[in-house]
Structure 1
Amino acid sequence: MKSAEKISATQLSFLLFSFIAPTVILILPSLMVNISKQDAWITIFPAVLIGAINIWVMIILSKRYPGQTIIQYSSQILGKWLGKCLGLYIVYYWINFDFIILNQHIQFINTVLLHKSPSIVVSLSLALLCGIAVYMGIESIARCNEFLALVMFVLLIPLLMLMLAEFDPERLRPVLSEGMLPILQGTIYPVAYLSQFIILGWLLPYLNQPKKAFKASFIGLFANAGLLAITVLLLIIIFGPLTEKLTFPLLSVIQYIGFQGSFERLEALAVAIWVMGCFVKVALTFFIICLSICQLFNIKNYRDLVMPITILSVLGSVSVFANYSTDLSYYLKYTYPSYAIFTQLIIPIFLLIIDSIKSLWKKSAL
């Protein structure tokens, strides 16, 4: 696949950061603390290792099949029909992923900002902007995100610094009080989110300097892992065991700082960070879905699918759960981690193993 659209290595790093960071820092800490308690920050280290393996697998596959997405080279590795079946499953996964992200957006905005706004209006307002961005192309999304990622980073710095004024390091003790088992169990959550680097399977064909793929991807990994580590540490030393009971712990601590300090309504910064990150996340998800369907069914232009996918996403986001808060919390805690790890990590590793076996088989047959 040769495309006129190209993104730089810097833009790739920014996209990886924006795709993962907002949902990670706002939602993930409470899930980690629920299992690993005050040792939740330790779970990030094995998760980074898994994330690095995920990146390595995706880049190796991309090098073996240059210019192709994971949808395209899956058919070459598994054969036409098995590859198509896997492609259909991956499309289903991303559509479901899209519904969940937009549903999270609805809940966050209704909880923090617009309490009485209809869910479909909240979802539609974001989805339309994302649809326009996708129609403009991946290069436009990447350029827009260069600005948004910097703004998110600038907004995060003062928030994290203000949090330092309220911390109590004693809440980090005792370390490893229950051994390694809770830490290993809690690792499933950061692994599920840091394995979202599977999006490299759709972004690497557009990278203008493929040799910089490793560097750009690892910058994205360490930026997300570092931000998550700092956020979890600060939340534990401020709220302690209370962290696991909060739906949006980072938002709660920002509201606490705003109430106690000289600044008021600092949660507006959290809303800005969420909306900007969610815009990039949903736009990239739309792009992946449209591109994947086109490659599965040999449709020439993925832009033809942008409007139908946008409408489907809005309808799905407001109907995916009967009880928004309870069902979403259960899904994120019990269903999504195993579902994500299987799709985002196990499947690429399986493809690499099959491809390596086929290559060795061909060499031994010569």
Structure 2
Amino acid sequence: MKTSSKINSAQLFFIIFQTQVGVGVLSLPSSLYAGAGTDGWITLLITGFAIQLIIFILYMLSNRFPSLTLFEYAPKIIGKYVAFVVSLLYTLFAISTAVIVLELFETTIKTWILFRTPMFVIFLLLTVSGTYLAIGRIKVMGRFYQFVSVLIIPLIIMAAYTLKDADIRYILPIGQNGLETILKATQQGIVSMLGFEIVLFIYPYVQSKGKAALKSLTLANVAVTLLYSFLTFTTYVFFSPAQLEMIPEPLVYMLKGVSFVVVDRVDLLFLSIWIVSVMTSYVSYLYIAGRGIQHLTKRKKTTGPILTAAFIALFFSMFSHDRYTVEMISSYHAKASYFFALGFPLLLLLISLLFKKKEESQ
């Protein structure tokens, strides 16, 4: 395919980074504690290594078809009829992810900031801004992601500030829950750090492919792993184990008690930064869904398909918005994500290697 827009290695890094850092960061420490206790931060480090192996698989697959997206090279590997089903499933997965992001965004904003604001208005805040960015070129997305990533720095500073009240005894002895328990909890970490699979759909737009692209993918994964591990670690040394069992979003609760001379509600500042990360994740999956609809309907432009995907996501997000329902839907989505992030790409890679299918050099 011919691309009118290219992204450099830095923009690839920030697209992967911002897509991975999403809505799950608030509840991740709590879900990891339920699975691995205070060793949850160790689980994240192991998760980062596991994700790196998956990224290498995605890179190998993408590098065999460097100028095509998964929607375009799937028919060359498994035939057009099976590829149509796979493309449809990826499109539905991307839309469902956008729906979950919208619902988690709404429940969090409703809980912490806009208590009386109608649900539909909160949905529109993310939908309108996210759709506007998604219909732009991939280079515009890359530049925006690169620009807003500077907001991660104050987020880290705010979390680090709480370490003055930390008690390291809360996580001792390290490894007390055993290796098996720590490894089992990696599934929560992988689901919360999803987003790296977007490389299957943006690799044709990367200027420097090959090892340079793999380096950007690796650095993005390392950065996300360290960020999530640090944020989780700070909550574990700030709250006692008894408190962690009762707090669903420990990061926000931790910062709620922090105040400065200029800023009294640090938790609101943190949530303002979090909103940007949520929007970038939403935009990325909206972009994937739009590209999928464009491919399935054989449209020339992406504007209409992206608007269609945004409308579908908005429509379905209106049906279930209570926390219990969202968590139940998220659990089913988490199980399906293994097929889309690893299962299908691995199968396509194995078939392409077995039958020696790859893009012909121009």
When the two structures are superposed, what TM-score results if normalisation uses the length of structure 2? 0.93
Q: Deviations over 1:80-115 (max 9, x none)?
A: 111111111111111111100011111111111101
Q: Partner of 1:349 in structure 2?
A: 346
Q: Partner of 2:360 in structure 1?
A: none
Q: Distance in 2 between matches of 1:266 and 1:205?
A: 41
Q: Note if contact 1:133-1:141 (Cα within 8 Å) is conserved in structure 2.
A: yes
**Distance 1:195-1:21 versus aligned 2 partners, 3 A rule:** closer
Q: SS where residue 257 of structure 1 aligns?
A: coil
Count of aligned pairs between the two proteins: 355
Q: Distance in 1 between matches of 2:269 and 2:22?
A: 12
Q: Which has the larger displacement, 121-130 or 339-348?
A: 339-348
How does 1:1-366 map onto structure 2 within 5 Å?
A: 1-150=1-150, 152-211=151-210, 212-241=212-241, 242-258=243-259, 263-319=263-319, 321=320, 324-332=322-330, 334-359=331-356
Q: Distance in 1 between matches of 2:352 and 2:247?
A: 44
Q: Deviations over 1:243-271 (max 9, x none)?
A: 34323221111102239x99520012222
Q: State the Cα distance separating 1:216 from its structure 2 match.
A: 0.7
Q: Which has the larger displacement, 245-254 or 119-128?
A: 245-254
Q: Distance in 2 between matches of 1:161 and 1:39?
A: 19
The amino acid of 2:244's aligned partner reads T
> Root-mean-square deviation (CA), in Å?
1.8
**Distance 1:168-1:262 versus aligned 2 partners, 3 A rule:** farther
Structure 1 unmatched runs, 5+: 361-366
Q: State the Cα distance separating 1:176 from its structure 2 match.
A: 2.7
Q: Note if contact 2:290-2:308 (Cα within 8 Å) is conserved in structure 1.
A: no
Q: State the Cα distance separating 1:193 from its structure 2 match.
A: 3.2
Q: Deviations over 1:14-70 (max 9, x none)?
A: 111111224242221111111100111111233112211121111111111111111
Q: Note if contact 1:195-1:341 (Cα within 8 Å) is conserved in structure 2.
A: no
Larger fraction in helix? 1
Q: Distance in 2 between matches of 1:240 and 1:349?
A: 41
Q: State the Cα distance separating 1:117 from its structure 2 match.
A: 0.8
Q: Deviations over 1:327-347 (max 9, x none)?
A: 222344x43332212221122
Q: Deviations over 1:287-320 (max 9, x none)?
A: 111111112232111112232222222222221x
Q: Which has the larger displacement, 206-215 or 186-195?
A: 186-195
The amino acid of 1:330's aligned partner reads M
Q: Distance in 1 between matches of 2:174 and 2:245?
A: 17
Q: SS where residue 245 of structure 1 aligns?
A: coil
Q: Note if contact 1:29-1:244 (Cα within 8 Å) is conserved in structure 2.
A: no
Q: Distance in 2 between matches of 1:97 and 1:174?
A: 37
Deviating beyond 4 angstroms after TM superposition, the runs of 4 or more aligned structure 1 residues are: none
Structure 2 unmatched runs, 5+: 358-362
Q: Distance in 2 between matches of 1:88 and 1:22?
A: 24
Q: SS where residue 359 of structure 1 aligns?
A: coil
Q: Distance in 1 between matches of 2:57 and 2:329?
A: 27
Q: Distance in 2 between matches of 1:335 and 1:182?
A: 22
Identity of aligned residues (%): 22
The amino acid of 1:256's aligned partner reads G
Q: Distance in 2 between matches of 1:220 and 1:126?
A: 24
Q: Which has the larger displacement, 72-81 or 186-195?
A: 186-195
Q: Distance in 1 between matches of 2:159 and 2:178?
A: 29
Q: Note if contact 2:39-2:177 (Cα within 8 Å) is conserved in structure 1.
A: no
Q: Deviations over 1:113-148 (max 9, x none)?
A: 101111111111211111111222211111112111
Q: Note if contact 1:61-1:352 (Cα within 8 Å) is conserved in structure 2.
A: yes
Q: Note if contact 1:44-1:190 (Cα within 8 Å) is conserved in structure 2.
A: yes
Q: Deviations over 1:210-258 (max 9, x none)?
A: 1321111111100100001111111111113223432322111110223
Q: Which has the larger displacement, 85-94 or 234-243?
A: 234-243
Q: Note if contact 1:50-1:195 (Cα within 8 Å) is conserved in structure 2.
A: no
